[in-house]
Amino acid sequence: MPNLIPKQPTKGSLKETSLSSETKAQVKEIVEFAKSHKNVKILLTGESETGKTQAAEMIAVELALPLYRVDLSTVISKYIGETEKNLNKLFDNAEKKGWILLFDEADALFSKRPEPSPLIKSLENYKGLVILASDSTEKFNPTFLRQTKSIHVGHSSKPKKKEDNEED
């Protein structure tokens, strides 16, 4: 079985994060969409250290679902057919257990290739929620991008004051 790294449950709420107001609003939109749809793919873009993982965690918290980061080194194989076999196991298990899968640095996997990769085929069939994180959309296949909901992530320019958090 491919190695999955469970993200530790995030404490707090979307209100308390340092994500920008625009990102928070987009996260809320995605959560509402994901509640009523299957096979949802989300692409989080933004520079390093801007909160892509935090946005993924907040989506998981809001949906009350476990978030697992996929360790791709345990999925991708040099042997013919092994990558596809590993992907099938990964997605089958995730679907049965209701996991949200997080693929970090996803641009390396979903680049502009002429033929669909086994990973893209698996994603198309997966009925759960997949979150892809990347620095930009430039390296992605345009057809694949049309199948995702995108959020550009950035931190708020000013840190929240403690009093602001107490108004819940």
3-state secondary structure of 60: helix
Percent of the chain with pLDDT over 90: 9
- Which range is least confidently modeled, 1-15, 22-36, 56-70, 123-137? 1-15
**pLDDT number for residue 163:** 39
Strands 100-103 and 40-45: unpaired
Query: Band of the pLDDT at 113, cuts 50, 70, 90?
Result: low
Strands 4-6 and 67-70: antiparallel
Domain residue ranges in the chain: 17-155
| Residue 66 pLDDT exceeds 50 | yes
Q: Is domain 17-155 in CATH 3.40.50.300, yes or no? A: yes
CA neighbours closer than 13 Å in the CB half-sphere of residue 135: 5
Q: What average pLDDT does this structure show over 3-20?
A: 65
Specify the pTM. 0.76
117-126 long-range CB contacts below 8 Å, 24 or more apart? Answer: 118/83, 118/84, 118/87, 119/83, 119/87, 120/144, 122/84, 122/87, 122/88, 122/90, 122/91, 123/41, 124/39, 125/39, 125/91, 126/39, 126/91, 126/94, 126/95, 126/101
Return d(Cα 98, Cα 64) in angstroms, integer.
10
**pLDDT number for residue 167:** 38
**pLDDT number for residue 159:** 38
